[in-house]
Amino acid sequence: MTKAEIVNEISKVTGIEKVTVQKTVEAFMESIKDSMVKDKNIYLRGFGSFIVKKRAQKTARNISKNTTIVIPAHNIPAFKPAKSFVNKVKSSIK
């Protein structure tokens, strides 16, 4: 499902204009990104959590050149679905 399809679905269900829904969805996503850049996690009860995972520095090998490189410590965004969300998806298998 694309962002446009999500906007259409929300607009159809709520009766709100697509332009307004699109601005709201984009503001929501921007808010999540800004919070995660500031190293803050977002918790949406019943849906899941957008969390910042910290990766430690590590040494890796480039096997084609037979050299080692150091990958510095860094953060990555991740999503952890809520248990109710996972159970709903699992039970939808037909």
Q: Give the model confidence (pLDDT) of 27-74 as tens digits.
A: 999 999 999 999 999 999 999 999 999 999 999 998 888 899 999 999
Task: Name the phi and psi angles at 93, rounded to 5.
Answer: -65, 130
Smallest CA-to-CA distance from 78 within 56, 55, 94, 45 is with: 55
| Model pTM score | 0.77
Three-state secondary-structure class, residue 27: helix
Task: Name the architecture of domain 42-84.
Answer: Irregular (4.10)
82 within 8 A of 47, measured Cβ to Cβ: yes
Smallest CA-to-CA distance from 79 within 52, 57, 61 is with: 52
